[in-house]
Amino acid sequence: MRHIIIHYHIFKNAGSTVAAMLERNFADRFASFDSPAHDKRLQPGELVAFVNSNPQVTAISSHHLRPPAPRIEGVQFYEILIFRHPLDRLRSMYDFYRSAAVNQDPLTREAKRLSVSHFFELLIRTAANLVTNAQLNLLANGGARIPDDQDAQRGLAMIKDFAVVGVAENFDECALTAEYRLHAPFPGLDLSYVPQNVTRSRANDLELRLRRFAERCGETLYGRLVELNRLDTGLVAAAAAESERRYVAAGLGAAQLREFRKRLRGKKILFAIARGRRQLSRLWRGAVRATSSSGPHRS
């Protein structure tokens, strides 16, 4: 039996951190599998063809695949899906677009020219699927339509089928549980991590971030966004509860979490040292080039 991890990378849901974790563990057996177009969904048949033509691949991260994974004879998929508080996700999305280089995604240009309130008012009018229960939409409908209460019930049932499910707000507990649950098919798996793609000015406290976001939006718009994401809020709460249930069922607790976070601190130190060495190397090469190009001076 071939064992393969699939990570569904929902935009702004700690996906870059998960992808980096997988790449560090699996190296050349890890693959990013995405469409060239930023808004094109990959179909199950495309995943089947990719898996069959890349027999070395053991872990996949994709922005454009949608659950559930297809059935392939001789292959066992282990699906990972991380959710996030929907309003905090919208805040992070806007901040990301504001700071990103202009690219093919038109939302980048719009975020750069519009205030936060005008940006989301525009999306509500022209791209409601991006601000209306977007995580449930991707889970239950593959991104195809704005979900309703029936989709919510189907989504709640689906989260129990994932090998790893959790929320960004309790990421450490989720990663530790995933390490425990995936140890048998993937011996030696180490899911300690260094956070990736995090906004530097972001407050650590979720409630503080939401209060600040509400102030930026204004009371009317923020209330509208809360209502548009009612089903997503329920989905995220259910995912958090399921993640917590698995954490407890695995016999994990404060002692294991402390040890895991000790590993996290070690990873961050090693990452900082490596980054410092790269920066020093770049400075040294620049100094050598500058010295060489100046050449000897004659009077």
Q: What is the CATH number of the domain that holds 177?
A: 3.40.50.300
Same domain for 285 and 176, yes or no, is no
- Residue-level pLDDT at 297: 52
Instruction: Tell me the pLDDT of the chain averaged across its residues.
Output: 92
Assigned domain for 295 exists: no
pLDDT of 151 strictly over 70: yes
Number of domains in the chain: 2
Degrees to nearest 5, angle at CA 58 with 236 and 67: 35
Domain that holds residue 107: 2-252
Degrees to nearest 5, angle at CA 207 with 203 and 208: 40
- In what helix (H) or strand (E) does residue 167 lie, and over which residues does it extend? strand 164-167
- Residue-level pLDDT at 73: 95
Same domain for 185 and 270, yes or no, is no
Cβ contact 116:126 at 8 Å? no
What's the CA gap between 200 and 246, in Å, rounded?
31
Assigned domain for 298 exists: no
Beta bridge partners of 32: 61
Residue from 243, 212, 175, 223 nearest 88 by CA: 212
Same domain for 271 and 184, yes or no, is no
pLDDT band at 284; cut points 50, 70, 90: confident
Percentage with pLDDT > 90 across the chain: 80
Same domain for 208 and 280, yes or no, is no
Assigned domain for 184 exists: yes
- DSSP alpha helix (H) spans, 204-253: 206-217, 219-228, 230-249
Same domain for 179 and 281, yes or no, is no
Q: Span 238-250, mean pLDDT? A: 97
pLDDT of 211 strictly over 70: yes
Assigned domain for 297 exists: no
| Burial class of 179 by CB neighbour count within 10 A (0 to 12, 13 to 18, 19+) | buried
Same domain for 281 and 227, yes or no, is no
Assigned domain for 299 exists: no
Same domain for 272 and 159, yes or no, is no
Write the pLDDT tens digit of every residue in 113-138: 999 999 999 999 999 999 999 999 99
Q: Span 6-29, mean pLDDT? A: 96
Assigned domain for 188 exists: yes
Q: Span 42-70, mean pLDDT? A: 97
